[in-house]
Amino acid sequence: MGKILAVGAKEMRQILRDRRTLLILLFIPAFFLLLYGYALSFDIRNVRLAVQDRDRSTHSRELVSAFVNSGYFALVGYEDSDAALARLVDQGKVRAILSIPANFERDLRLKRPVTVQVVIDGDNANTASTVTGYARTLIAEFGAVQMAVRTPGLESRIPDPGPRIPTITIEPRIWYNPQLRSALFLVPGLIAYISMITAVVSTALSVVREKERGTMEQVRMAPVGPVAYILGKTLPYLAISFTSAVLIVFAAMALFDMPMRGSWPLLLFSIGLFLVGAQAQGLLISTIADTQQVAFQIALLSSMLPTMILSGFIFPISSMPTVVQGITYLVPARYFLVALRAIVLKGADITAFWQDLVALAIFATVAMGLASLRLRREWA
Amino acid sequence: MGVELGATGAKAAIRRVLHLMRKEVLELKQDPRLFGVVIIAPIMQLAVLGYAATTDVKDVPIAIVDADRSTASRDLIHRFETSANFKIVGMPGSTDEIDRYLDRGEAWMAISIPANFGQAVAANRSATLQVVADGTDSNSTGVAMGYAQTLIAGYTQDLAAAAMPGQPVGALVRPEIRVWFNPRLESRDFMIPGIIALLLLVVTTNLSAMAIVREKEVGTLEQLSVTPLARWELITGKLLPYAAIGIIDVVLVLVVAIYWFEIPMRGSIALLFGMCVIYLMSTLGLGLFVSTISRTQQQAMMTSIFFFLMPMIYLSGFIFPIENMPAWIQPFTYLIPLRYFLVIVRGIFLKGVGLEILWPQALALFAWGATVLALATFRSSKRLG
């Protein structure tokens, strides 16, 4: 134990000497949450819309204002020529086109079905499918209102609505996040992501730096075993990462109304377990690499994109192909995110996610064990 | 830079740059794993992430409580079963058990069919289905609710058609929606060009971020500063070996994207390649700049990750569209080269547009690269001088 503390104290002195690194590790994560928490959103508003109005009637203007007043679309302007419209989309100045045919008003008065065309820039498939949904809903609502309008003198020509038909309505209830705010989904993901990167990069250079500078030989001669050395290297960084993770959680609650429906001790325990695992991953990388450059490369490639894309932070794991779903079991953030969301959003107790905590513990133990083994072999 | 050089001077300069490049390559070979990491890892990552990065929602796990057990309820359940959008993970006996499914995240949605459902449908009366959804993943839940609504609307329409044969069913105003560039709404076609841009950024920036600071840390920068090496020669000699690695990466990831993922390539490959080279100029230049402002490799790593890579990833429009961001954040995105490059790659891949449309982005990207390289050269001079 004394040896672990000695290594820890030495590492701490080294950290304190490099103020920039310390400040980055402690405070930048919370600052990032602030910035990205606002920037990251799936809620789509103000889609830039161009209108091709071939009817220029009261009704066509009503449809356009229905689009604009919904808040989902922002009118860029009217344009008649197809070529000019295509160019606007190519340049990205417009993301959607609403095209209203001639005789729109006349057909509506006669209650004849009319078709309006909506063109959507599909380059971002996710946005495009949401915008498609908005457009459908707006047009359906507009149609329903027009159907209800009675045109004087024309009643006789309107078909009879017919007998009663069964209707099935849905009574939706949404739990945990009733307003479907994407921030409540993304902020826990950001917490996991930022903590993961901070933890991995903090330890990834710690061992290899000694190798590169040649001080490793001195450590080897000292009466410190590989396990004590590894633990001592982790402790100071664990303290820093833990502080910064707790700061992020507080920031999330203060700024983004992230609720806290579960137990605090459980949350802190899960955070600790996750950080130990992430730092163990960093240490393992550090023992494998021979130069800091390689360590840096492996650390980033193994944490930055996988944590973002394979953890369920942004992309739902259940929609991925089976093989890729298998790979996600290697990403510790996957387990942490289940626990984090269950605790803060769902207020669930440990029975709902104990398997994920066990998986995190296994990950941390295996990574620590492998790192110690690597060192032992190198020192032998 | 703008120094007039005689023919012999130029030759000597080129010789000095070549020597420095040789030294740099020798140093890179110190850990041979580097080549494996920077060449193989990006391809593997693209292959896995390309499949994972999909915002398409399918196989939504649902639980159904059937309190009715009639022909009508079984018919409805059958529709959920056969739909590619849903996957039934359980049929709990009572609504109380729904909690367990949602708390554990086993199901995203639970549908409960009331006891009088079959009777109501048979008598042409209205029936109400209760749908409870886990709103945690707001985006996917919204999509899944849409699927459920569409499925149930289809069911209602079939009931109506059965009740009144021959009557047309439909709305007064019909939307005809056309999606350009990506008619199948494949999110992969949108994501993979983005992943390419990101991988190139991560690999090349990190490589060059260590280039100069390593010499500082080891103490060999002093030695370099007493050689007749000019500062631009230093930057060029450091840059070119990494540029070679970057170009190999560009070729490999493009091959994987086009031939493995079959992302439609509607524009010119030559133009895309040229743009990638300009982009490399800014990513490598950024790395070198970070290298000149850091004292230790750890500092360089922290600076490049936290001040450059992370903001670039999240603020570039890679996943989250810039127009959704609050107005005060949007101006910052103009400072990000990845923003311009994303418009360029997606434009060339999906829209097939060329420089006539993309020239402002290309110009901005080039200006960014030139500026950051100039800054790196300037900074290194102060350190060397």
- Domain with residue A122: its CATH number is 3.40.1710.10
For residue B280, give both structure tokens.
Answer: 């490399």
Distance CA A376, CA B60 (A): 47
Task: Say yes or no for a CB contact (<8 Å) between A122 and B314.
Answer: no
CB contact B299 to A (< 8 Å): yes
Distance CA A31, CA A247 (A): 10
Reported in sequence order, the residue ranges of chain A that DSSP labels E, i.e. its strands, are 47-53, 73-78, 96-100, 114-121, 168-175
B318-351 pLDDT tens trace:
877 777 778 888 888 888 899 999 989 988 888 8
Closest Cβ–Cβ partner in B138, B160, B198 for A305 = B198
A92-106 pLDDT tens trace:
788 889 999 988 888
Q: At what angle do helices B33-52 and A292-309 cross, to 10 degrees?
A: 10
Interface with chain A: mutation pick from B102, B136, B329, B356, highest number of A CBs within 10 Å: B136
CB contact B113 to A (< 8 Å): no
Residue A163 has pLDDT above 50, yes or no: no
- Band the pLDDT of B170: cuts 50, 70, 90: low
Q: Which of B229, B333, B338 is nearest to B280 (CA)?
A: B338
Q: Which of A212, A231, A200, A187 is nearest to A25 (CA)?
A: A200
Q: Which of B375, B372, B381 is nearest to B278 (CA)?
A: B372
Regarding whether A290 and A200 lie in a shared domain, the answer is yes
- Residues from chain A contacting residue B136 (CB–CB below 8 Å): 176-177, 184-185, 341, 345-346
Regarding whether A68 and A33 lie in a shared domain, the answer is no
- Min Cα separation B243/chain A (Å): 16
| Mean pLDDT, residues A221-232 | 80
Whether A266 is in a domain gets the answer yes
Contacts of A44 (CB under 8 A, 6+ apart): A72, A127, A130, A131, A134, B321, B324
Is residue B376 within 8 Å of B235, Cβ to Cβ? yes
- Residues from chain B contacting residue A299 (CB–CB below 8 Å): 301
Closest Cα in chain B to A349: B103
The domain ranges of chain B are 12-53+186-384, 60-163
Task: Say yes or no for a CB contact (<8 Å) between B311 and A327.
Answer: no
- Strand pairing report for A73-78 and A47-53: parallel
Interface with chain B: mutation pick from A305, A322, A323, A334, highest number of B CBs within 10 Å: A305
Strand order in the sheet with B127-134: A168-175, B127-134, B109-113, B60-66, B86-90
Closest Cα in chain A to B167: A162
Whether A171 is in a domain gets the answer no
Q: What is the DSSP string of A154-168?
A: -GGGSPP--S----E
Reported in sequence order, the residue ranges of chain B that DSSP labels E, i.e. its strands, are 60-66, 86-90, 109-113, 127-134, 173-180
B286-306 pLDDT tens trace:
998 998 888 888 888 888 888
Is residue B33 within 8 Å of A294, Cβ to Cβ? yes
CB contact B146 to A (< 8 Å): yes
- Band the pLDDT of B121: cuts 50, 70, 90: confident
Residue A160 has pLDDT above 50, yes or no: no
Distance CA B30, CA B202 (A): 21
Regarding whether A144 and A28 lie in a shared domain, the answer is no
Reported in sequence order, the residue ranges of B10-119 that DSSP labels E, i.e. its strands, are 60-66, 86-90, 109-113
R_g (Cα) of chain A, nearest Å: 29
Q: Which of A59-73, A125-139, B26-40 has the highest mean pLDDT?
A: A59-73
For residue B180, give both structure tokens.
Answer: 């350009």
A273-291 pLDDT tens trace:
999 999 999 999 998 888 8
| CATH 3.90.1150.10 holds for B60-163 | no
Regarding whether A297 and A198 lie in a shared domain, the answer is yes
Closest Cα in chain A to B348: A90
Is residue B233 within 8 Å of B18, Cβ to Cβ? no
Residue A165 has pLDDT above 60, yes or no: no
Task: Say yes or no for a CB contact (<8 Å) between B172 and A89.
Answer: no
CB contact B133 to A (< 8 Å): yes
Please report the pLDDT score of residue B28 as a whole number: 73
Whether A163 is in a domain gets the answer no
B176-190 pLDDT tens trace:
767 676 666 677 788
Distance CA A353, CA A344 (A): 13
For residue A368, how many other CB atoms are within 10 A of its CB? 21
Please report the pLDDT score of residue B274 as a whole number: 92
- Band the pLDDT of A363: cuts 50, 70, 90: very high
Residue B193 has pLDDT above 70, yes or no: yes
Q: Which of A127, A25, A175 is nearest to B100 (CA)?
A: A175
For residue A124, how many other CB atoms are within 10 A of its CB? 27
Closest Cβ–Cβ partner in A116, A163, A201 for B175 = A116
CB contact B205 to A (< 8 Å): no
Distance CA B89, CA B96 (A): 16
What is the enclosing helix (H) or strand (E) of A81? none
Regarding whether A34 and A66 lie in a shared domain, the answer is no
Please report the pLDDT score of residue B185 as a whole number: 63
What is the enclosing helix (H) or strand (E) of B93? none
Closest Cα in chain B to A142: B173
Regarding whether A302 and A217 lie in a shared domain, the answer is yes
Regarding whether A263 and A195 lie in a shared domain, the answer is yes
Regarding whether A239 and A150 lie in a shared domain, the answer is no
Compute the C-alpha angle B144/B150/B151, nearest 5°: 90
Whether A172 is in a domain gets the answer no
CB contact B37 to A (< 8 Å): yes
- Residues from chain B contacting residue A143 (CB–CB below 8 Å): 171-174
Task: Say yes or no for a CB contact (<8 Å) between A201 and B302.
Answer: yes
If one counts the domains in chain A, the total is 2
Whether A246 is in a domain gets the answer yes
Q: What is the DSSP string of A292-308?
A: HHHHHHHHHHHHHHHHH
CB contact B319 to A (< 8 Å): yes
Distance CA B219, CA B213 (A): 9
Domain that holds residue A115: 47-157
Within 13 A of B98's CA, how many CA atoms are on the CB side? 22
- Band the pLDDT of B385: cuts 50, 70, 90: very low
Q: Which of B95, B87, B134, B96 is nearest to B114 (CA)?
A: B95
B48-96 pLDDT tens trace:
777 777 777 778 889 999 988 888 889 889 999 998 889 899 898 888 8
The pTM is what? Answer: 0.77
Whether A301 is in a domain gets the answer yes
- Min Cα separation B3/chain A (Å): 33
- Min Cα separation B360/chain A (Å): 10
Closest Cα in chain B to A350: B104
Whether A149 is in a domain gets the answer yes
- Min Cα separation B363/chain A (Å): 15
Task: Say yes or no for a CB contact (<8 Å) between B51 and A321.
Answer: yes
Q: Which of A328-342, B138-152, B319-333 has the highest mean pLDDT?
A: A328-342
Closest Cα in chain A to B358: A91
Regarding whether A36 and A51 lie in a shared domain, the answer is no
Please report the pLDDT score of residue A152 as a whole number: 54
Residue A40 has pLDDT above 80, yes or no: no
Regarding whether A228 and A367 lie in a shared domain, the answer is yes
- Residues from chain B contacting residue A305 (CB–CB below 8 Å): 45, 49, 195, 198-199, 202
Lowest mean pLDDT among A159-173, B107-121, B136-150, B225-239: A159-173
Q: Which of A112, A3, A193 is nearest to B168 (CA)?
A: A112
Residue A48 has pLDDT above 70, yes or no: yes
Share of residues in chain B with pLDDT > 70 (%): 91
Distance CA A287, CA A273 (A): 21
What type of residue sits at position B177? I
Distance CA A313, CA A186 (A): 7
Please report the pLDDT score of residue B166 as a whole number: 56
Within 13 A of A224's CA, how many CA atoms are on the CB side? 25
Does the ipTM exceed 0.85? no
What type of residue sits at position B367? A
Contacts of A365 (CB under 8 A, 6+ apart): none
For residue A139, give both structure tokens.
Answer: 């047009």
For residue A17, how many other CB atoms are within 10 A of its CB? 10
**Beta-bridge partners for A49:** A75, A96
Q: What is the mean pLDDT of chain B?
A: 81
| Mean pLDDT, residues A121-131 | 75
